C-alpha cells in the first residue's frame, strides 16, 4: 500500500504537525495494525453510540409523564430487555478484545532480527549503540543524538524535532531495539513506526519493528523525565541496506 | 556505490543474536546478564580461543549497554562481580 501511494509521488506525514488530531502516516506493519484496529473500533463505536442515544431519547420522549402518564406505573420492569442489554455489551467487549490481543502479541513477537540497536535515554538526549559489528579490539559504533537548538536550525529542519545524529536503519529489515535509561525513566516513541517503549534504568526492554519504506521518522521522549523532557526528540532515518552498510562503514571510522 | 557496498559486506555482516526461548518477554535484562556470565564461564573452562565462546561474546555485546559492560568488567577486576564465574 505504501509503495502504491508513493507511485504518485505523494509526501508522507512522518512528523507531528501543529494541532494535529489524526495519526501520522504509517511506515511499519505494526502501526498499520494499530491504525486499522483504532478505525474499526471507532466505526462500531459510532454505530453503537447512535443506537444507544436513539433508544435513550426515544424513551425519554415517548414515555415522559406528559405523553404517557401511566408509564411510570406499568413500565417498571422487563427481564428480556435486561438480558439483552447485559449480554450484548459483553459480546461486544469480547469482539474488541480478540483483535486487540492478537495485535498486542503480534507486535510483541521478535521475528529473527537482522540488527540489534541499543537505545539509552539520558537527561536529556538519546544515545545509540550498534554493537553487532564489534571487532576483536572491542570497538563498537555509538553516538549521542541531541536536539538542534533553534538558533542553529537550517531551512527545512523541524523546530524541537530535528537532531544532530539520526538513528540510521536499513529498510525492510526486522530490527530489534534494546532500550534502557541511564538516569530516570524515558520513553522511546516514534509514531510512524508504531514504537513506544519505556526506557527504565537497570532494565532492558525489547521491541521489534520493520520500516516498510525509506524516510525520516520523527518522535519524542514520551515519559516526563525532567525540565528538558520536551527537548530530546527522536529521528529515525530508514535507508536501503547497501546505503546502510556504507553508512555503518563511515561511522565505524 | 554498489562496489563499496559489496566491499563492506565482507567487513560487516547484517547479523545479530536470534530469538532465545529462555527470554520470550519484553524484559531482556536477564538475557544480557546470562550471556555475559556465560562468556566468562566459558573462557575459564575452555580458554579464550575456544571458538564456541565467541557466540556468548557477540550476544552480550549486542544486548548489553556498553556502560553496563564497562561496569561489570570493572567489577570482575576488583572481584566484586555479583555472580560466580566458575564453570
Ligand atoms: Cu526523556
Q: Is the same domain home to A40 and A155?
A: no
Domain with residue A207: its CATH number is: 2.60.40.420
pLDDT value at residue B2? 45
Is the ipTM value over 0.90, yes or no?
no
Most confident residue range from A37-46, A104-113, A140-149: A37-46
Which CATH entry fits the domain spanning B16-78: 1.10.3720.10, 1.20.1250.20, 1.10.10.140, 1.10.443.10? Answer: 1.10.10.140
What is the pLDDT of chain A when averaged over all its residues? 89
Confidence band of A44 (pLDDT split at 50, 70, 90): very high
Q: Is residue A193 classed as helix, strand or coil in its secondary structure?
A: helix
Would the pLDDT of B36 be above 70?
Answer: yes
DSSP letters of B15-78?
A: ------TT--SSB-HHHHHHHHHHHHHHHHHH-TT-TTHHHHHHHHHHHS-HHHHHHHHHHHHH
Q: Is the same domain home to A144 and A247?
A: yes
pLDDT value at residue A13? 81
By the CB criterion, residues less than 5 angstroms from ion ligand 1 are A 186, 221, 225
CB B65 to CB A120 under 8 A?
yes
Q: What average pLDDT does this structure show over A52-65?
A: 90
Quote the minimal CA–CA distance from B40 to chain A in Å.
15
- State the residue range of the domain holding A243: 115-251
Nearest to A226 by CA among A187, A189, A196: A187
**Residue at A19 is within a domain:** no
Would the pLDDT of A137 be above 70?
Answer: no
Q: Is the same domain home to A133 and A243?
A: yes
- Give the nearest chain A residue to B21 (CA atoms): A110
CA distance A142 to A129: 4
Q: What average pLDDT does this structure show over A87-106?
A: 94
Whole-model pTM: value is 0.84
Q: Is the same domain home to A128 and A63?
A: no
In chain A, which residues have their Cβ closer than 8 Å to the Cβ of B55? Answer: none
pLDDT digits (tens, 9 = 90+) for B39-77: 999 999 888 888 888 889 889 999 999 999 999 999 999
CB B8 to CB A249 under 8 A?
yes
Nearest to A121 by CA among A76, A167, A74, A79: A167
Q: Please check whether residue A134 touches B, CB under 8 A.
A: yes
Would the pLDDT of A248 be above 80?
Answer: yes
Nearest to B18 by CA among B82, B78, B66, B62: B62
Q: Where are the domains of chain B?
A: 16-78
In chain B, which residues have their Cβ closer than 8 Å to the Cβ of A241? Answer: 14
Would the pLDDT of A213 be above 80?
Answer: yes
Q: Is the same domain home to A196 and A221?
A: yes
pLDDT digits (tens, 9 = 90+) for A20-32: 899 999 999 999 9
Q: Is the same domain home to A234 and A148?
A: yes
Cα B49 to Cα A213, B13, B44, B68: the distances in Å are 42, 22, 11, 24
Would the pLDDT of A46 be above 50?
Answer: yes
Amino acid at each position: 500500500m505504501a509503495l502504491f501511494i508513493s507511485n504518485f509521488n505523494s509526501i508522507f506525514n512522518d512528523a507531528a504537525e501543529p494541532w494535529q488530531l489524526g495519526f501520522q502516516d504509517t511506515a511499519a506493519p505494526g502501526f498499520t495494525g494499530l491504525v486499522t484496529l483504532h478505525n474499526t473500533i471507532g466505526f462500531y463505536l459510532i454505530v453503537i453510540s447512535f443506537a444507544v442515544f436513539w433508544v435513550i431519547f426515544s424513551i425519554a420522549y415517548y414515555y415522559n409523564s406528559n405523553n404517557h402518564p401511566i408509564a411510570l406505573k406499568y413500565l417498571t420492569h422487563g427481564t428480556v430487555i435486561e438480558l439483552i442489554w447485559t449480554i450484548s455489551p459483553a459480546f461486544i467487549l469480547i469482539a474488541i478484545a480478540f483483535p486487540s490481543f492478537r495485535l498486542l502479541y503480534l507486535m510483541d513477537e521478535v521475528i529473527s532480527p537482522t540488527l540489534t540497536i541499543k537505545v539509552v535515554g539520558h537527561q536529556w538526549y538519546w544515545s545509540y549503540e550498534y554493537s553487532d559489528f564489534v571487532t576483536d579490539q572491542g570497538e563498537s559504533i555509538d553516538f549521542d543524538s541531541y536536539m538542534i537548538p533553534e538558533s542553529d536550525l537550517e531551512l527545512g529542519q523541524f523546530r524541537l524535532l530535528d537532531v544532530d545524529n539520526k538513528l540510521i536503519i536499513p529498510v525492510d529489515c526486522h530490527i530489534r531495539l534494546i532500550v534502557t535509561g541511564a538516569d530516570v525513566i524515558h520513553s522511546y516513541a516514534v509514531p510512524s513506526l508504531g514504537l513506544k517503549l519505556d526506557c527504565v534504568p537497570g532494565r532492558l526492554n525489547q521491541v521489534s519493528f520493520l520500516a516498510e519504506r525509506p524516510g525520516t521518522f520523527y518522535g519524542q521522549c514520551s515519559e516526563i523525565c525532567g525540565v528538558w523532557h520536551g527537548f530530546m526528540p527522536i529521528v529515525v532515518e530508514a535507508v536501503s541496506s547497501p546505503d546502510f552498510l556504507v553508512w555503518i562503514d563511515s561511522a565505524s571510522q | 556505490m554498489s562496489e563499496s557496498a559489496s566491499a563492506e559486506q565482507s567487513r560487516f555482516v547484517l547479523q545479530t543474536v536470534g530469538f532465545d526461548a529462555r527470554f520470550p518477554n519484553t524484559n531482556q535484562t536477564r538475557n544480557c546478564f546470562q550471556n555475559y556470565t556465560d562468556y566468562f564461564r566459558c573462557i575459564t573452562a575452555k580458554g579464550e580461543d575456544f571458538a564456541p565462546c565467541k557466540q556468548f561474546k557477540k550476544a552480550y555485546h549486542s544486548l548489553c549497554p556498553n556502560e553496563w559492560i564497562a561496569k561489570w568488567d570493572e567489577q570482575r577486576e576488583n572481584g566484586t562481580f555479583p555472580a560466580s564465574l566458575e564453570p
